[in-house]
Amino acid sequence: MILVLLTSGNPVILLAQEGDYQKGLSYYKQQQYQKAIGEFEVIVKANPDYESGFRILGDCYLKLMDYDQAAEAFQNALRLKEDNYTSHHGLALAHFNAGRYAETVSTLSEGERYAPSPRHQYQLFRTRGSAYYNLQDFERAVADLGKATAIQRGNPKDLLQLGLAYYHLGNYAEADRLLQQAVALEPNESAATVYLARLRYREGIEALEVRDYSKAVELLREYADQNPTDGEANFNLGLAQLFSDNLSAAEGAFLQAAELMPENWEIFDRLGYIHELNSDYLKSLDSYQKAHHLNPDSSIQESIERIQERIRRSE
- What's the mean pLDDT in 5-15? 35
Does the pLDDT at position 65 exceed 70?
yes
Least confident of 18-32, 63-77, 262-276, 291-305: 18-32
- pLDDT band at residue 1 under the 50/70/90 scheme: very low
Q: Which residues pair with 6 in a beta bridge?
A: 11
Task: Give the burial class of 106: count Cβ atoms within 10 A of its Cβ; 0-12 exposed, 13-18 middle, 19 or more buried.
Answer: middle
Percent of the chain's residues with pLDDT above 70: 94
Q: At 298, give phi and psi (nearest 5°).
A: -65, -35
What is the rounded average pLDDT of the residues 199-214? 96
The C-alpha atoms of residue 21 and residue 157 are separated, in whole angstroms, by: 37
Tell me, what's the pLDDT at 315?
Answer: 74
The confidence score (pLDDT) of residue 225 equals 93
Residue 10 has pLDDT above 90, yes or no: no
Q: What is the pLDDT, as a whole number, of residue 8?
A: 36
Q: Name the band, by pLDDT with cuts 50, 70 and 90, for residue 18.
A: very low
Q: What pLDDT is attached to residue 186?
A: 94
In which band, very low, low, confident or very high, does the pLDDT at 307 lie, cut at 50, 70 and 90?
Answer: very high
Domains with residue ranges and CATH for the chain: 1-115 (1.25.40.10), 262-315 (no CATH)
Residues 85-94: tens digit of each pLDDT? 999 999 999 9
Is 199 a residue whose pLDDT tops 60?
Answer: yes
Asked whether 196 and 172 are in contact (CB, 8 A), the reply is no
**5 has pLDDT over 90:** no
CA dist 155 and 160 (Å) reads: 9
> Does residue 2 surpass a pLDDT of 70?
no
- pLDDT above 80: residue 19: no
Q: Does position 11 have pLDDT exceeding 70, yes or no?
A: no
C-alpha distances in Å from residue 127, one per residue of 24, 64, 94, 147, 216: 29, 19, 11, 11, 39
- Predicted confidence (pLDDT) per residue in 178-193, tens digit: 999 999 999 998 999 9
Whether residue 282 contacts residue 252, with contact meaning beta carbons closer than 8 Å, is answered with no
Q: What pLDDT was estimated at residue 314?
A: 85
Whether 237 and 258 have beta carbons less than 8 Å apart is answered as: no
Residue-averaged pLDDT of the chain: 92
